[in-house]
Structure 1
Amino acid sequence: MSLQSIVESSRQMLDDKAAAALLDVTPGTLSVWRSTGRYNLPFVKVGRKVRYRHSDIEAWLQKRYRESGATA
């Protein structure tokens, strides 16, 4: 991975407030999901900061898409 691609990837990172707004949940909800493992939403931890890649959120949402009420 080149330095340019790493820098570009970091620019696409969302903090917990931005990610929560995108998902229409609270930052506290994201915190619970991270700590309990309830949902497998990937995140990046840098020190005490938590970041989400926009592409990871999009992929996670796509996996959760359902055409009917079936959960399988």
Structure 2
Amino acid sequence: MTNTTFLDTIEAARYLGLQKTTLEAWRSRGKGPQFVKLGRAVRYRRPDLDAWIESRIRHNTIGGDAA
């Protein structure tokens, strides 16, 4: 994990164009992008956010919950 950029919840939400509370709610429900716990701090790795975005790409509107 060399040279990994970690973002806090506010930074990750801004990066994704979401509200901080949305990420917090998804985290508590086991949804959304992967995150890392460092002690009591929650951090998101930029590559995980990018992978999560890529996994959300859809070619039609048929399908389940995108979160």
Alignment TM class, shorter chain as reference: 0.7 to 0.9
Task: Quote how far apart the aligned CAs of 1:48 are.
Answer: 1.5
Aligned to 1:67: 59
Aligned to 2:13: 20
RMSD of equivalent CA atoms: 1.5
More helix per residue: 1
Name the count of aligned residue pairs: 64
Task: Quote how far apart the aligned CAs of 1:26 are.
Answer: 1.3
- Structure 1 runs (4+) deviating above 2 angstroms are none
Moved more, 22-31 or 56-65: 22-31
Task: Quote how far apart the aligned CAs of 1:40 are.
Answer: 4.2
Computing the radius of gyration from Cα coordinates, the structure with the larger value is: 1
